[in-house]
Chain A
Amino acid sequence: MSTRTLISPAVLARPRGKALYWTVFAVVVLLFTLVFLGPLYWLVSSGFKDAQEVIATPPTLVPESFEPENYTRAWEVMDLATLLFNTLYYAFGALAFQLVLDVAAAYSLSKLRPVFGKAILGMMLATLMIPATVLVVPQYLTVLDVPVIERNLLNSPWAIWLPAVTNAFNIFLLKRFFDSIPKELLDAASMDGASPLRVLWSIVLPISRPILGVVSIFAVVGVWKDFLWPMLTLPDPSKQTLNVGIYSLSNGVPVNVLIAALTIASVPTLLIFLVFQRNIMSGLTAGGLKG
């Protein structure tokens, strides 16, 4: 993009400006690489060190010992496959529920405008103000014995999926986007006798791709990052998420094996991210919140 930014192109064109630009650029690129890739390098390389070197003082930047078997051992003891599968299962389940229920709700609040709609939206937005951790006790008690259906959702994926729907921020984003869709577009379709569901499906959703992308990322990342809630609601080790699994492992293996395990646990999503980074980045920057 060649939009005009803070510093004018004229200044940059001058030799001094050019030199300064490249200097700053080099420093920033170096610094960022150090800050963001440095720890990752440290993680991967420490995973190869032997038990002595990994806790040597001073630390060694380049491993002097080479023990790739740390990685094999980490893979064996961690059962990464199960943990990763669980996490993805919860994340995409939560995504599906949010896409169906939250999109429907936002559409209703934005375009169908039922009575009490404003009040309902207000009550939903109010939950944004309350940190999830504050409500963790009553929420936990609720999951143990869900009212009406009187079920205990502990150790079941529903304990993750259904609370995930109460994502007021996503509803807010969706509603704002739907608000911006010209009314005439929908009216024309209604005139042709299309039901609200049809209008949603064939008109609203196709235009809303960018916001759906953003909401999807938020939904998946939300589950991916959560720790306390899955730790409490999924106590069965075979049903744990990656985060909780690594945490339980953390004091049961030597430091070098733990670090190898952290590396392995980070690889899958880093790969997904690198492969899809274009979509993810453009989704987040273009679709979401423009100032």
Chain B
Amino acid sequence: MSAPSMTPTPSKAGPPRPSPPSGAGSVPPAGRFARNLKRNLTAHGFLIGAVLCFGVFSWYPMVREFFLAFQKTENGRTDWVGFDNLVTVFNDPAFWQAWGNTGLFTLLALVLGFAVPFLVAVVINEFRHGQGYLRLLVYLPVMLPPVASVLLFKYLYDPGYGLLNELFTSIGLPEQQWLQDPDISMLAVVIASTWMNMGGATLIYLAALQSIPGELYEAAELDGAGLLRKIWHVTIPQTRLILSLMALMQVIATMQVFVEPFLLTGGAGPEGSTTTVVHLIYQYAFNFNDYGAAAALGLLLLVLLAGFSAVYVKLSRAEDE
């Protein structure tokens, strides 16, 4: 079985291979050149708007990040300071904690934000009734203004008058301090974040599940496979590509989570337990007015993410073929 395609390909043959410009070869060289030039000008004309936006708002800031990381601006004067900013960042007692938190956050977000929607999609996909209703429910929170959802969760989590503890005690579980317990504050943040955002991923998984040919399950049953083995040997391999892409998207999305911890725990959280690298960057820039340190830390994060990007590019390449 070939790898599943990411697009609604009309034919089973997969996307057409790139082809050389039409008519090449039948035209004399000079005409071909003129044609090529014209084609290229048109093509770049179509591109230029987006490229300019990328240039100004994406690529240029990336380059600038690099410069900022080695500069310091004070009282309107900008100086080169070499590795001073990096040293500042490294000496910050919050530095390693922030990386640890980011790692923990990513792990939790993978377990919850990535696995939960998949399981939910698998379950929903089995139902012959009420699929529309369940899909609607799961997607509902995506439509709420995120700040409203986050503040709602803050209210639910409140250890005094929050509903969640009430629920816990009513079914015999111990009360929790949720956002105020350094041990579980991050988990509480991730749960809120998953509730808010899982709708999109669930729908994508559902679409992927629905395109799995039913014969594969039949074949597996003939081999005597049970439910779990069918999931392991059919469902997961058949959605492997979309799963791996979503996992990466999830990691990257996690890296930029800002609003949830910012509003739920004030960003830093109890004993700094929800301080992520991104929050630290924000704090350097907008609390401490130290753009150099912010950029230096950002640069470190960029380097780390370069590793992820390698994986991503590899995956999308593999899928191209």
B187 on interface, CB distance cutoff 8 Å: no
A66 on interface, CB distance cutoff 8 Å: no
Contact of B68 with A133 in the complex, beta carbons under 8 Å: no
Contact of B22 with A246 in the complex, beta carbons under 8 Å: no
Contact of A138 with B68 in the complex, beta carbons under 8 Å: yes
Question: Which residues from chain A contact B8 at a C-beta distance below 8 Å?
Answer: 177, 180, 210-211, 286-287, 290
CA distance A163 to B53 in the complex (A): 7
Q: From known contacts A136-B282, A228-B259, A287-B8, infer whether A269 and B143 are also in contact, taking CB-CB under 8 Å.
A: yes
Residue of A nearest to B49 (CB): A101
For A259, give its contact among B22, B155, B203, B215 (CB under 8 Å): B155
For B57, give its contact among A113, A166, A183 (CB under 8 Å): A166
If over half of B's interface residues share one DSSP class (helix, strand or loop), that class is named, otherwise mixed; here it is helix
> Which residues in window 174-216 of A have CB below 8 A to B?
176-177, 179-180, 182-183, 187, 190, 196, 210-211
How far in angstroms is the closest Cβ of chain A from B168?
11
Contact of B305 with A136 in the complex, beta carbons under 8 Å: no
For B207, give its contact among A141, A228, A289 (CB under 8 Å): A289
Stretch at the interface among B26-34, B89-97, B158-166: B158-166
For B54, give its contact among A4, A8, A124 (CB under 8 Å): A124
Contact of B65 with A135 in the complex, beta carbons under 8 Å: yes
> Which residues in window 205-255 of A have CB below 8 A to B?
210-211, 221, 224-225, 227-228, 232, 242-244, 246-247, 250, 255
Contact of A290 with B50 in the complex, beta carbons under 8 Å: no
Question: Which residues from chain B contact A105 at a C-beta distance below 8 Å?
Answer: 46-47, 49-51
CA distance A183 to B23 in the complex (A): 13
CA distance A68 to B205 in the complex (A): 41
Contact of A270 with B144 in the complex, beta carbons under 8 Å: yes
Contact of A131 with B163 in the complex, beta carbons under 8 Å: no
CA distance A134 to B60 in the complex (A): 14
> Which residues in window 143-167 of B have CB below 8 A to A?
143-148, 151-153, 155-156, 160-163, 166
Q: From known contacts A29-B134, A39-B156, infer whether A112 and B312 are also in contact, taking CB-CB under 8 Å.
A: no
Question: Which residues from chain B contact A137 at a C-beta distance below 8 Å?
Answer: 65, 68, 281, 285, 291, 294-295, 298
Contact of B68 with A179 in the complex, beta carbons under 8 Å: no
Residue of B nearest to A122 (CB): B313
B75 on interface, CB distance cutoff 8 Å: no
For A25, give its contact among B127, B207, B215, B301 (CB under 8 Å): B127
Contact of A54 with B161 in the complex, beta carbons under 8 Å: yes
How far in angstroms is the closest Cβ of chain B from A142?
5
How far in angstroms is the closest Cβ of chain A from B14?
8
How far in angstroms is the closest Cβ of chain A from B219?
11
How far in angstroms is the closest Cβ of chain A from B276?
9
A19 on interface, CB distance cutoff 8 Å: no
CA distance A134 to B209 in the complex (A): 34
Question: Which residues from chain A contact B5 at a C-beta distance below 8 Å?
Answer: 180, 290
How far in angstroms is the closest Cβ of chain A from B264?
12
> Which residues in window 113-156 of A have CB below 8 A to B?
113-115, 117, 120, 122-139, 141-143, 146-148
Question: Which residues from chain A contact B285 at a C-beta distance below 8 Å?
Answer: 136-137
Contact of B161 with A166 in the complex, beta carbons under 8 Å: no
* Interchain Cβ contacts under 8 Å between A and B, 26 examples: A1-B210, A4-B214, A4-B215, A5-B214, A6-B122, A6-B126, A8-B221, A36-B140, A40-B140, A42-B163, A112-B39, A129-B308, A134-B301, A143-B57, A163-B58, A180-B5, A227-B146, A227-B259, A227-B262, A242-B145, A272-B143, A281-B139, A285-B206, A289-B208, A290-B7, A291-B212
Question: Which residues from chain B contact A142 at a C-beta distance below 8 Å?
Answer: 56-57, 60-61, 64
Contact of A101 with B50 in the complex, beta carbons under 8 Å: yes
Contact of B208 with A291 in the complex, beta carbons under 8 Å: yes
Contact with A along B272-299 (1 / 0, CB 8 A): 0000001001100110000100110010
B250 on interface, CB distance cutoff 8 Å: no
How far in angstroms is the closest Cβ of chain A from B191?
11
How far in angstroms is the closest Cβ of chain A from B158?
8
B59 on interface, CB distance cutoff 8 Å: yes
